[in-house]
Structure 1
């Protein structure tokens, strides 16, 4: 991977991490098109640059994370409880997940199926009761955490899974989206730390990769700042249907390309 390729993938990460369209799925396809899809450092890079994206959440919602009052302990506790299912399942099935990360066909299928769901999700949950994060209790947070685990299948989208889970638990669209952002912080921090621990030898053997990781995280951070604000605005005004159509179109393009012989495998 060179610096140009790193910037392209980081832009994709920043744009898609908090949209319900699967950042991992998009990075897998873009990496394949760039010819670096199965490179070991590429797979490390695609996980570690999530750190830049989650820092955008911390900056935009810094009061939630750093203004300490009587509610802050409960806020952190909800995030810890909600991330437990992903930590356990991610550890148990890490090898299987790595195999799925090499499959553009899996991405195409899950993008398509997830897009169909997003066409109807606004009609399924029309009577929300939880309109602030403070009203989310521990058990609701845990249930949303289980929904988030669906995103271990590439193309599903962590944000889509957790937002739909939140709406199923009676959260408004806006609160479900914001809680999904908050939950991304411990989830992706844990995934990044685990991937760095596993890949430390790769980084030590090629120190130039550290520079590429730094550039990627900076780009992902800046782009994610813009994407989060854009997504919240579109969700409030239009709901999720537009993202459903996008997923269906992209999923069909990927599936048709693969079935007609276009090689997205590297």
Structure 2
């Protein structure tokens, strides 16, 4: 599997954008179908593929989903039906992460069994890993509740996503260059598969630092995966284990975020969106996320974060041109 996997989500977004742009002039105000717009199985398929591919890649799944919602016509408009549909679509952009959660459970069940055994007092390493993950999760648990309304009202839009895509890319290039120099100073090759400390050997301060970096990703377009992988690099983890810690931390963070959305917006979402497409999108996201996770670990070990940084910059430029120029 090649880097073309990442391009699938970009191609989908741009194709939808082009079709949407071509169809807009033919729509009249009197015949606007906004009131009857519903989440279709096609919408769910596209959102599922985009979410699954981008959730664990350092390119921002939320940013991609916000752009995809815009291009699918799931947001926009001033009437009550349009506003309710947009709110439901934004909530679904969080709930659909359930597919990515299932993918991690399937692929990393051995780690999860170890954690369970640790909680039962039968695996000290599993218990230490559980503690590390909880410490890394705490900052997002606190700040996520405090900032949720502000983030949705101010940052869920194409322009904030574009800004975050570029800012995150610059950070990734800087960190990748720093990592390269660190390896050179240590006389090691970036291609060497030296994993460094295992996940249960991380210190609590290192885990808390990764958790703080994860909070930066509350800005849509930044990428939770990118910030936690960068934190793993800083903590001395190899790309492989930095990605694995990111996946496991995401299991907790995404479960909490999705559960919170179900509790707070579930009734409104189910009244606005049909349950069939909602569940279908989650299934598609599970399959796509499992493929993306398997590919990412090998790709990061060979190429690092730089290719994703250039992808983010390219996507930001294209979207900015299409939407604002």
**Shift in alpha-carbon separation, 1:42–1:204, aligned structure 2, 3 A:** closer
Match of 1:187 among 241, 253, 269: 253
Matches within 5 A, 1:221-260: 221-260=286-325
**Shift in alpha-carbon separation, 1:92–1:64, aligned structure 2, 3 A:** same
RMSD (Å) for aligned C-alpha atoms: 1.7
**Shift in alpha-carbon separation, 1:240–1:132, aligned structure 2, 3 A:** same
**Shift in alpha-carbon separation, 1:96–1:109, aligned structure 2, 3 A:** same
Matches within 5 A, 1:1-266: 1-37=39-75, 39-67=86-114, 68=117, 69-125=123-179, 126-127=182-183, 130-203=196-269, 205=271, 209-260=274-325
Partners of 2:129 and 2:198 in 1: CA distance:
12
Report the structure number with the largest CA radius of gyration. Answer: 2
- Scaled by the length of structure 2, the TM-score of the pair is 0.76
Contact 1:31 1:37 (C-alpha < 8 Å) held by counterparts: yes
Deviations 1:205-240 (A, max 9, x none): 35x633222111111001100000111111011111
Partners of 2:196 and 2:142 in 1: CA distance:
28
Contact 1:147 1:161 (C-alpha < 8 Å) held by counterparts: yes
- Scaled by the length of structure 1, the TM-score of the pair is 0.92
Write out the 4+ residue segments of structure 1 that deviate beyond 3 Å after TM superposition: 127-131, 203-206
Q: Which runs of 5+ in 1 are unaligned?
A: 261-266
Partners of 2:174 and 2:164 in 1: CA distance:
16
Partners of 1:53 and 1:100 in 2: CA distance:
26
1:150 Cα deviation after fit? 0.6
Q: Which runs of 5+ in 2 are unaligned?
A: 1-38, 77-85, 118-122, 187-194
**Shift in alpha-carbon separation, 1:123–1:131, aligned structure 2, 3 A:** farther
Q: Which has the higher contact order (CA 8 A, sep 6+)?
A: 1
Partners of 1:115 and 1:79 in 2: CA distance:
26
The residue that corresponds to 2:7 in the other structure is none
Aligned length: 259
1:101 Cα deviation after fit? 4.6
